[in-house]
Chains A and B, each alone.
Chain A
Amino acid sequence: MSLESFLIMRHELLLTAAVLIVLMAEIFGNPASKKSLITFTIVIFGLITATGFLPSAEGELFGGMYLSTASRLVMKNILNIGVLLVFIQSADWLRRDENAEKITEYFILLISTLIGMNFMISAGHFLMFYIGLELATIPIAALAAFDRYKNHSAEAGIKLILISALSSGILLYGLSMIYGTTGSLYFKEVAEIFSDQGLQILGFIFFFTGMAFKISIVPFHLWTADVYEGAPINITSYLSVISKGAAVFIFIIILFTVFPMIIETWQKAIYVTSVLTMTIGNLFAIRQLNLKRFLAFSSISQAGYILLGFIGGNELGLASVIYYVLVYIFSNLGAFGVVMAVSNATGKENIEDYNGLYQTNPGVSLIMTLALFSLAGIPPVAGFFGKFFLFAAAAEKGFYMLVLIAVLNTIISLYYYLLIVKAMFLIKNDTPLEKFKSGFYTKLGLGLCVAGIAVVGFASIIFEMIRHLSFGI
């Protein structure tokens, strides 16, 4: 193995280097100027994100355990953009004195999970996939319990680790059956041998269930709302966007490359879970009073829409899923960014606290509206294009009934997104939240989200690029 071939692993190596650099800075840096570490890490991470877009060779390492293809690189770059946004958005929160001790931990843990996700996405072997998955999950549980003196936060951490362990166990059980019946864990070899024998199907079902936990597909979604509510908001936004996005990416890769032989089986599973996820996510979101829980259920229903891109097993589906995750990153982080800004300034997180927000804080209200419209799929913002392509992907293979259910669900979702708009714009309130000024990083983060929401849809080149790269996963 030559040294150049390691360049194929550029993403993972750079991130590992970043972790080490941050650690060094923590050890040798001046404790008094610890807060400058925030800017430092964001700059470094920005550079890494930028280098991710440099052209890269495709290839495989470690005898096929690690694969790098154009479409997987796009996925990694999208995740990098998302993580960069999360970092920027959390900078002002980390600057607070109570978090000063934990700045380094925050960055190291988050980047470690990202390394895990990158390995997971590049996996060509189930073991590599599993190691990546675990690396991507365990540090998150530590982060969920970040505010360790708050009961809620500790509870979120425990719940997350228990659920992760449970789902990993189920997943591994499935993998062991797959190994037992095919004699291999290489994606390529399994794909050739796999058929619809009873035990293999059973193995597949366990695998599917495990992944369903990770993406929080109904009926494996119950942990989501509690964890999202308890964890600090930036971790919640990370969980709902980056973790979910990465799990979606690897799930579609494995379904399309490892299990194409049993496409009819998993189409049924996707069909049912997609309908359930959309509908139940939406119906529960209507009743929520806390914005974090609200966004948790909204993100559950979004996963349901994403499954529409899976069902056709077609190229358009793959491209639309990748594209939608990008759109979803900007939209959801936009919404979470506003919740974060309001919560940092006032400590309020309930929907009724937003009554009359437009009177005092028109800027964040407009950003929130834009982000919610994008989540609901209203033109001309990015979410509309994302949903349209997902629906088109399902319609291409004739799943019109499913598309009908999905479009009707978007109406339900529009209803509860409008409830927030109503609170901010329509409801008269004599004592709205007072006007607040956000820090530089919060503004930067929100600005980038708005730019993404506005541009990603109209700029057809982005979708076309993803589409061209998604030949051959």
Chain B
Amino acid sequence: MDILTLFVVIPVLTITGILFLKDTKQVRVISAIGMGIQLIMAGVLVFLYLSARNAGNTDEMLFIKDYLWFSSLNIHYAIGVDGISVAMISLTSLVVFAGIFASWEVEFLTKEFFVSLILLATGVFGFFISIDLFTMFLFYELAVIPMYLLIGIWGSGPKEYSAMKLTLMLMGGSALILLGLLGIYFNSAPDGGQFTFNLLEISKVTIPISAQRLFFPLTFVGFGVLGALFPFHTWSPDGHASAPTAVSMLHAGVLMKLGGYGAFRVAIFLMPEAASELNWIFIILTSISVVYGAFGAIAQKDLKYINAYSSVSHCGLVLFAVLMMNQTALNGAVIQMISHGLMTALFFALIGMLYGRTHTRMINQMGGLMKVIPFLSVAYVIAGLASLGLPGLSGFVAEMTIFVGAFQHTDIFHRVVTIVAVSSIVITAVYILRVVAILLLGPTTDEHHKHLTDAKWFERVSVVTLIGSVAGIGLAPYWLSTMIGNSLHPIVEKILAVNPF
């Protein structure tokens, strides 16, 4: 079996294993082992990928396997990865691994919880390895639907409402994607010949511009819903606030990246002509996402809402960068996806841990936690600093690259929106520092909070894994950005052919 299919098979085997277990302890251990193997596999994949590239392999995608599935519609199970997907797969396995440890103490219906969580992960992995649009879409929906049960059963607050809202909005997005994919398919052979769902083959032809004008907005908005594109972001705050810890981590950390990745891999890559015509609309919308999300975060008192709005802002930045359509900005977009994925997963993990101790998520009900639980507090500060883009952590590398890329456009429109988007950095600093000050510094306000215990071993595993990765990217961004940059060349070439800005 090839290495990429293993990324789908291992989670499925883990799920099968869990189904046969009775004891909740064993369920946790098996999940951790399964996702641990997945993490190791991701490491192996990065190694294999880099060594293949160093050996001089310049194919657009590596490890390609292609099996015919439905011959009458030319649907294949086709897989392959480039640097971008390798990076996303690594991110996913990190976050899932950390997520398993962050949900170590789930007591209610433990087995079902881990099954749904890993099912979600299966969908995400499958999405990133697919190069056939049909299988990609199949995995995409597979990743979305377990969210309903995960939020609805194990969530908090108005969980039924949030779960329904999130599921329907995301499935609404995927409905638009489905239509877009069918449109792409039936226009994938403008010069005659067989239609195809294969990304690489479609990218070699030019889809008729009239079709592009129709299907580019559909696919972009469809993926944009998951990427928190304004005004389709409203599921995000409610959904994240109601979701249990590991689900928020996975959802903000990984699932929202499916939106960014899809918008870029499918919408922009396959339909660059329409993208360069219509991107101004979406640039405006994403700029609103970026700034509005940041302001939204300032206004909130609930830690999860703060982080959810901050995710809207940061994921908006991903889409913003994707729409800039040049090498630097796209590079930044991918790094931002990874950086935000790790950082926000760390945030949500920490919020979950704080909530488990203080039983509140309201910042005005907490204070002075630094003295009581130093490990978690320091971790929170690190996450915060990464979020506001402090040099030395991953956020800085990402945002810097994006804004440099955006500023390469010399016209007034792009300059203005870039300046507007840059202002979000300042706003981010405001809400991050405000939370840190109220939450961690100062005197301990609540008597009960003086006797809290610091992180347990499994929580430390989760936190250290994520912090290590955030700092790793921040200190040594070069290997990541080279890996991504090389893979971006063929994509950017196709885009620049129509849009030399």
Contact = CB atoms under 8 A, between A and B. Distances in A.
A binds B: yes
B183 interface: yes
B478 interface: no
A392 B73 contact: yes
Interface in A414-429: 414-415, 418, 421-422, 425-427
B148 A421 contact: yes
Majority SS at the chain B contact face: helix
Interface string B132-146: 001000110110010
Interface in A383-403: 384, 388-389, 391-392, 395-396, 398, 400, 403
A411 B171 contact: yes
Nearest to B148: A418
A403 B149 CA distance: 28
Nearest to A415: B168
Interface in A343-383: 373, 378-380
Interface in A446-466: 460, 463-464
Contacts of A316: 72-73
B216 to A, nearest CB: 14
Given A319-B72, A411-B168, A414-B167, A403 B182 contact: yes
A444 interface: no
B168 A408 contact: no
Given A388-B178, A408-B175, A411-B168, A379 B186 contact: no
A404 B168 CA distance: 16
Given A403-B182, A407-B176, A414 B69 contact: no
B269 to A, nearest CB: 21
Interface in A178-232: none
A139 to B, nearest CB: 37
A427 B149 CA distance: 12
A305 to B, nearest CB: 13
B145 A378 contact: yes
Given A379-B141, A415-B168, A460-B70, A400 B179 contact: yes
A410 interface: yes
A418 B182 contact: no
Contacts, number: 81
A470 to B, nearest CB: 10
Most interface-central of B148, B152, B178, B186 (chain A CB within 10 A): B178
B108 to A, nearest CB: 11
Given A379-B142, A414-B168, A464-B71, A422 B176 contact: no
Interface residues of A, number: 33
A407 B222 CA distance: 12
B60 interface: no
Contacts of A422: 152, 160, 164
Interface string B160-186: 100110011001100110110011011
Contacts of B148: 418, 421
Contacts of B153: 425-426
Given A384-B138, A408-B172, A460-B69, A373 B149 contact: no
A362 B163 CA distance: 21
A316 B186 CA distance: 13
Given A418-B164, A425-B149, A407 B72 contact: no
A443 interface: no
A467 interface: yes
A379 B73 CA distance: 18
B246 to A, nearest CB: 18
B70 A464 contact: yes
Interface string B178-205: 1100110110000000000000000000
A400 B183 CA distance: 8
A391 to B, nearest CB: 6
A407 B186 contact: no
Contacts of B176: 407
A380 B214 contact: no
A450 to B, nearest CB: 14
Interface of B: 69-73, 75, 134, 138-139, 141-142, 145, 148-149, 152-153, 159-160, 163-164, 167-168, 171-172, 175-176, 178-179, 182-183, 185-186, 214
Given A395-B186, A426-B160, 9 more contacts: A316-B73, A379-B139, A384-B138, A407-B178, A407-B179, A421-B149, A425-B152, A426-B153, A426-B159
